[in-house]
Amino acid sequence: MLLTQILPRALLLWPDEPAVLCGSESFTYRDVADRVGRLAAVLAGLGIEPGDRVAILHRNCHRMLETYFAAVHAGAILVPMNHRLTAADLAYILDDTSCRVMIADDGWCDVAAEAIATSRTPCTPIWSRMGGPIERVVEGPDYESLLKEVGEQALPNPASSEDDPANVYYTSGTTGHQKGVVLTHRNISSHALATIAELGLTDSDMWAHVAPMFHLADAWATWAITWVGGRHVMVGAFDPAAVFQTFAECEVTVTNLVPTMLNDLVNHQDSQGVRLPAFRLVMSGGAPISPQLVRRVIDTFRCEYVQTYGLTETSPYLTFSLLKEHLRRLPPEDQIRYRSMTGRPALGVRLRLVDEEGNDLPTDGRTVGEIIARGDRVTPGYWQLPDATAEAFRNGWFHTGDLATVDGEGYFNIVDRKKDVILTGGELVYSTEVENVLYDHPEVFEAAVIGVADDRLGESVTAFVVLRSDVSCGADELARHCRDRLAHYKCPRTVGIVEALPKTGSGKISKRALRGWVSRTPNSSPQVP
């Protein structure tokens, strides 16, 4: 299947049905197809040919969705960019992909202009003027003016193959520059179709784009929701009060959020007594989630909850914690345990749990190994990085770098990233286990655990904790809480209480940044900004 088949189908079946709600603006599928045809013509007029790369740096907006579709209808490869990156990072991506056009939200005009100026690749900006309290003055072509100038245009249908790249997403790598993950028409379309089937998405669904659309925690829904004729609701910035208001007023039925967003929502004052009768499904993905938070999400949203797991390299979903029918008859607490797990394999995915030699491990729910995957949704590799691609694939299987267990029901449960496992005094400690115990403390708002260099132990278990507002709780109390529930060697030797934890552009807690907080002097306490 080709991504260029999706919008024409929506135009045929639901031409005058609501397609997008974005602030005070609304668009039917006829409107969206018209605007996408115009934008594809604009890109062609700027010299974009099949296979050329186009970048976008933008908040969640109807223009973000339009650009995803216009790029494939122009035969181009879209490069969504993280708006938390520096100008140097953005310039690197422009050069690495030889992007010839960048569509940029004027909220980031300074960093975008600097990136274009310092890039070695000639790149034409298209400025998306979003307005606001202070009107940004930027020189160059304007998105809406360009669409108006080209006039009405039919959706182009370039000669594409299922194996042609459609998107390149840059991952937040742990060292050096980010890697560009190539996703093809086959990767994205096979994922979208299978997810439609898994989640029962239909034209009655209203999807809220809350997680950033430059990240696959949300971007996959661009294709899937359009394919079934559902409606897209754009949330340009994450603010819990505004998000709850949007959920209620727009009668949102389904969305996917990262755990930090869900944590902010359920702890916000507006979560008390909130009524969201239209919601049928809320999902969490992008990072592990504690059972305690799952309970609060279910209590707040009062609908089906599903944990998801995947990577940029897998389009993204590999698993869902959707309960099999007989598991729905378990006592509520046992159901919570399964809903909090990473989940069982998604349609169209083959997963294995293997040891270092690639041998399959028992399905006993205890033995830890690495998840490896294969299927149509798995990337063919990294952009212009054959060595990194070869390292990630062995015998046709993609190695995720995620450590997990799998039980007799076939449900996987991640215990840590390989790079985050802590080796202390010869014992392995999985950070997620310690974090879940910390989240069980009633005064903990957020928690993250890392290993810190230690002369005697090799690594020392170190926790960073954000407390709830107006709460006084000492590090000693949190350490005791852990000692009462964990083996001694797993307990944090140091607990740093901080005002906030660093986040990635997608809203996940950044352990890479946490390691940068820690003093380089062995055996010292964490030094935080």
Domains, the chain? 3-184+216-229 (3.40.50.12780), 238-420 (3.40.50.12780), 426-517 (3.30.300.30)
Read off the pLDDT of residues 19-58 as tens digits, 9 standing for 90 and up: 999 999 999 999 999 999 999 999 999 999 999 999 999 9
Q: How many CB atoms lie within 10 A of CB 122?
A: 10
Check pLDDT > 70 for residue 365. yes
The C-alpha R_g of the chain, in whole angstroms, comes to: 23
Read off the pLDDT of residues 337-346 as tens digits, 9 standing for 90 and up: 999 999 999 9
pLDDT at position 523 is: 40
Read off the pLDDT of residues 89-140 as tens digits, 9 standing for 90 and up: 999 999 999 999 999 999 999 999 999 999 999 999 999 988 654 455 567 7
Percent of the chain past pLDDT 90, that is, above it, reads 81
Read off the pLDDT of residues 244-257 as tens digits, 9 standing for 90 and up: 999 999 999 999 99
Alpha carbon 523 to chain centroid, angstroms? 35
Check pLDDT > 90 for residue 369. yes
pLDDT at position 529 is: 43
Q: How far apart are CA 303 and CA 254, in angstroms?
A: 10
pLDDT at position 504 is: 83
Read off the pLDDT of residues 484-528 as tens digits, 9 standing for 90 and up: 999 898 999 999 999 999 988 778 898 888 888 875 434 444 544
Q: How many CB atoms lie within 10 A of CB 44?
A: 20
pLDDT at position 135 is: 54
315 contacts: CB under 8 Å, gap ≥ 6: 183, 187, 188, 190, 191, 216, 220, 377, 378, 379
pLDDT at position 172 is: 65
CB burial of residue 108 (10 Å; 0-12, 13-18, 19+): buried
Please state whether the predicted TM-score (pTM) of the whole model is above 0.85. Answer: yes
524 vs 457, residue with greater confidence: 457
391 vs 527, residue with greater confidence: 391
Edge-to-edge strand ranges of the sheet holding 231-234: 25-28, 18-22, 231-234, 206-209, 254-257, 281-284, 304-310, 317-320, 344-345
Q: How far apart are CA 343 and CA 306, in angstroms?
A: 9
Tokens of 473: 């709780």
pLDDT at position 519 is: 53
| Burial state string for 244-254 with b = 16 or more CB within 10 A and e = fewer than 16 | bebbbebebbb
Read off the pLDDT of residues 415-440 as tens digits, 9 standing for 90 and up: 988 888 898 888 889 999 999 999 99
DSSP annotation of 353: E
Phi, psi of 179 (to 5 degrees): -105, 140
pLDDT at position 89 is: 92
Q: How far apart are CA 495 and CA 477, in angstroms?
A: 10
Please check whether residue 336 is in contact with residue 404, taking contact to mean a CB–CB distance below 8 angstroms.
Answer: no
Check pLDDT > 80 for residue 225. yes
The full 3-state SS of 151-163, as one line of letters, equals CCCCCCCCCCCCC
